[in-house]
Amino acid sequence: MSIEIRNHGRVGAEILGVDIGGNLTADEFEAIRSAFVQHGVVFFRDQLLSEEQHIGFARRWGTININRFFAAHPTYPEIALVLKAPDQRDNIGGGWHTDHSYDAEPALGSVLVARELPPVGGATAFASMYDAYEALPARLRIRIEGRRAVHSARHVFGSKPREEIRDSDTRAGRIGNSAVADVLEDVVHPIVLRHPLSGKQAIYVNPAFTIGIEGLDEEESRDLLAEIYAHCQNPGFIEDFHWREGSVAFWDNRATWHFARNDYPGYAREMHRITIEGAALD
Ligand SMILES: [Fe+2]
């Protein structure tokens, strides 16, 4: 079996000819690493991983972060459950975001495995923040140069979430531990980061967890963030990944946004997520 890397439309790379549940050779590991660093997300098909194999693959990339807010797998605490039941209206991750930007050392990324899928729909969209940065209009680039943004999880996972989250039914049995979110300190990251692995620049603010821009008043901050977000949602930087049984995605939170599409009412969707620790950003 020889490994093959193909572009996945506008965002990411599909990696064929490798069994990620087995012992990767040094060449295979390097090919996956290099595609991940370059593209910001890599996809695998037909893997049929056991939970132990999922954990084993994730460990190759760093220390596993035990999720504080999502329901955990009953046997494997390393695995966070991303669930939607047939009778639930809202899903987890149903808006553009990047995971863990509210941490001082945001997670490197996650390995997501499909366990139960709806017959149609339920794709995950990815947006390249490398491409979004490269295509920034000069006038917007100048306004964000050197600026830093504030990130928080309190308004999402805390005991007093903002209105649209309070009214959502994602919490019952799926999201908890609000007391931990309530005492999280806000953190600050550059709006444009220098990626720790690729050295490339990428936009690092997101509509879910970024709450403001340092040094700007509330209105200026909101307006500038809205402009950045509108730019980042240009369809030219976005691609959907359509899950099948055996599909696996491994994304980099520092180079991509993602969005779980919620277009399968009446059906269950169950995904297993393992998140890998990252580093401070500059
Ligand atoms: Fe997410």
Return the domain boundaries, the chain. Answer: 4-276
- Which pLDDT value is given to residue 119? 97
Active-site residue 273, yes or no? yes
Residue 158 one-letter amino acid? G
Per-residue pLDDT of the chain (282 residues; tens, 9 = 90+): 689 999 999 999 999 999 999 999 999 999 999 999 999 999 999 999 999 999 999 999 999 999 888 889 999 999 999 999 999 998 989 999 999 999 999 999 999 999 999 999 999 999 999 999 999 999 999 999 999 999 998 877 767 777 666 566 666 666 677 777 777 789 999 999 999 999 999 999 999 999 999 999 999 999 999 999 999 999 999 999 999 999 999 999 999 999 999 999 999 999 999 999 999 998
- Annotation: CATH topology of 4-276: Double-stranded beta-helix (3.60.130)
- Which pLDDT value is given to residue 167? 63
- Which pLDDT value is given to residue 1? 62
Question: How far is ligand 1, taken at its centre, from the CA of residue 19, in Å?
Answer: 25
**For residues 240 and 125, is the Cβ–Cβ distance under 8 A?**
yes
Residue 175 one-letter amino acid? I
Question: How far is ligand 1, taken at its centre, from the CA of residue 244, in Å?
Answer: 19
Question: Could you tell me the two tokens for 254?
Answer: 């520092």
Active-site residue 195, yes or no? no
- Which pLDDT value is given to residue 9? 98
Choose, from 8, 73, 97, 254, the residue flagged as catalytic: 97
Residue 99's alpha-carbon distances to 29, 65, 85, 218, 245, in angstroms, are 24, 12, 22, 24, 24
Question: How far is ligand 1, taken at its centre, from the CA of residue 93, in Å?
Answer: 5
Choose, from 8, 54, 73, 99, the residue flagged as catalytic: 99
Residue 121's alpha-carbon distances to 124, 235, 264, 266, in angstroms, are 9, 19, 6, 12
Active-site residue 97, yes or no? yes
- Give the pairing of strands 41-44 and 13-16: parallel
Active-site residue 258, yes or no? yes
**The whole model's pTM is what?**
0.94
Give residue for tokens 């939170």.
Answer: 253
Question: How far is ligand 1, taken at its centre, from the CA of residue 257, in Å?
Answer: 8
Choose, from 151, 258, 269, 272, the residue flagged as catalytic: 258
- Which pLDDT value is given to residue 99? 95
Question: How far is ligand 1, taken at its centre, from the CA of residue 280, in Å?
Answer: 19
Phi, psi of 92 (to 5 degrees): -90, 130
Residue 48 one-letter amino acid? L
